[in-house]
Amino acid sequence: MEFKQFLTGLQNIVGEENVVFHPEDLLVFEYDGSVDRGLPQAVVFPASTDEVSQVITLAHGAGVPMVGRGTGTGLSGGAIAPPGAIQIAFPRMNHILEVDTDNRLALVEPGVINLDLDTHVRKFGLRYAPDPSSQRACSLGGNIAENAGGPHCLAYGTTTNHVLGMEVVLEDGTVVNLGSMARETVGYDLRGVFTGSEGTFGIATRITVRLLPVPESVRTFLGIFPNVESACTAVSAIIENGIVPAALEMIDALTIQAVQKVSDAGYPDDAGAVLLIELEGLQDEVDEIGSEVEAALWDTGATQVQAAQEEGEREQLWVGRKGALGALGALAPNYFLVDGVVPRTKLAEVLGQVAEVAKRYDILIANVFHAGDGNLHPCLLFDEREPGALEKIVEAGAEVLRVCVDAGGTLTGEHGVGLEKKEQMPLVFSDEDMAAMLAARQAFAPKNSLNPGKIFPDGVAHAPSAHSSAPGMTV
């Protein structure tokens, strides 16, 4: 099939104005939050499940690979188009279709922004718990693809713990339903298998999520520490006391410096690390546990402890954490973020080894992460305009991941494998393990036409951006 004929087919399905294919218009779709690049042949904006199904059926028949794209905030290259692929994006499918307050459910389309859903349901005394740092921009469809987490997932779990059912389009255009409106379903947990499959199994077009009641009381603490080691000791002390905060975040000295350069989050310039702890629950429970948390912070070497209960005060304490990645632009124009997971008891040890990697490669590595569940987020800072800088930073990132795995951890806690970590998969999984995962993918997408080239190692570096044609097509 000729490319022009294929484009005409797409335009007939979604409307001429909803297909982007001029190279200069595609530039904004060639990247996500990672360091990879890949220019799609076209980007299609469907408005319904039926249109998604028709687009996928057409592309499947033409042998054109497809990539579902949320809002491009992903950090593992998951939305990057391989050569010859099209992207299917969802700014037109951004509606909250239903909120069932009695059963605490919401039915949404994949383009709904995470924070928009949470804000909307709070009017009914409910909330949507998963809160990635990109909450203001990321979409529910992308959250499902990557099984996104966030600060409050320490207590409430990641996206997979909040998805009840999905309407999904498979690679041949078939529409299926996974899960149900019920809390539990019989048979295989296909909604759990699908969530976190990084767009390789299918594309979700309708999503049913569970909602939680807004807690009666919320209290947020900020602990200032002289160094990372003492802050890590505080993390262990809090958890060992049987306390599971809603959120337990750490920010290191380098990140504090960056944050304070762009906004005053109230962090002392000479702090070695800060801990942000949030408690939620009944008023009496929060009062009691809050006293224990505050005591644990002082006992483990905090130089200052601040507590906030009012919404404005809490928001101020969260400013530094929520804006940390953006603030790193004050130190370097680019960052490469890896999200290895390690046992909490080895946080200080691993962070020390990460600092050694930074020293060996003569780079800056900033750390801002989910300390409560050991989900590290080392941010390797660099300037991609410098010759060889990108190659060096990717090599250093691979070393950081090896450090995490050697400590008894794994490659990713919430960002996915994508392009960034696929060559490190053998550090964690045997050939037999990966064969089993490939078999699961084959059950959903036997032609591997949905987001191909992701997750599994193939020894092939991602191709440079190019407006190339797919097999069997001529431009």
Instruction: Return the CATH number of 3-89, one of 3.40.640.10, 3.30.450.20, 3.30.160.100, 3.30.43.10.
Output: 3.30.43.10
407 touches 347 (CB < 8 A): no
The encoded tokens of residue 235 equal 């993390």
- 436-470: b (≥16 Cβ within 10 Å) or e: eeeeebeebbeeebbbbbbbbeeeeebbebebebb
CATH class of 96-213: alpha beta
Rounded to an integer, the average pLDDT of 42-54 is 98
pLDDT at site 217: 95
pTM over 0.75: yes
The answer to whether residue 461 scores a pLDDT higher than 50 is: yes
130 touches 143 (CB < 8 A): yes
Compute the distance between CA of residue 181 and CA of residue 165 in angstroms, rounded to an integer: 6
Q: What is the tally of helices (H) and strands (E) in the chain?
A: 15, 18
Q: What is the CB neighbour count within 10 angstroms for residue 215?
A: 15
The mean predicted confidence, pLDDT, of the chain is 93
pLDDT band at 320 (very low <50, low <70, confident <90, very high): confident
| Domain over 332-427 is classified CATH 3.30.70.2740 | yes
> Residues with Cβ < 8 Å from 443, sequence gap 6 or more?
none
Which H or E run contains 396? helix 389-406
What is the fold of 217-323?
Answer: Alpha-Beta Plaits (3.30.70)
DSSP-derived secondary structure letter, 113: B
- In the beta sheet, which residues pair with residue 42? 86
Query: What crossing angle do the helices spanning 228-240 and 347-361 adopt, rounded to 10°?
Result: 150
Whether 217-323 shares its CATH topology with 332-427 is answered yes
Query: Which tens digits make up the pLDDT trace of 439-453?
Result: 999 999 999 999 999
Query: Which tens digits make up the pLDDT trace of 385-410?
Result: 999 999 999 999 999 999 999 999 99
297 touches 241 (CB < 8 A): no
> Residues with Cβ < 8 Å from 419, sequence gap 6 or more?
34, 36, 76, 77, 78, 80, 453, 454, 462
pLDDT at site 426: 97
Which H or E run contains 391? helix 389-406
Domain boundaries along the sequence of the chain:
3-89, 96-213, 217-323, 332-427
Query: Which tens digits make up the pLDDT trace of 119-134?
Result: 999 999 999 999 998 9
> Residues with Cβ < 8 Å from 359, sequence gap 6 or more?
none
The answer to whether residue 470 scores a pLDDT higher than 70 is: no
SS3 53: helix
The encoded tokens of residue 212 equal 């939680």
The encoded tokens of residue 408 equal 């008894």
Three-state helix/strand/coil letters over 203-235: EEEEEEEECEECCCEEEEEEEEECCHHHHHHHH
Compute the distance between CA of residue 184 and CA of residue 453 in angstroms, rounded to an integer: 33
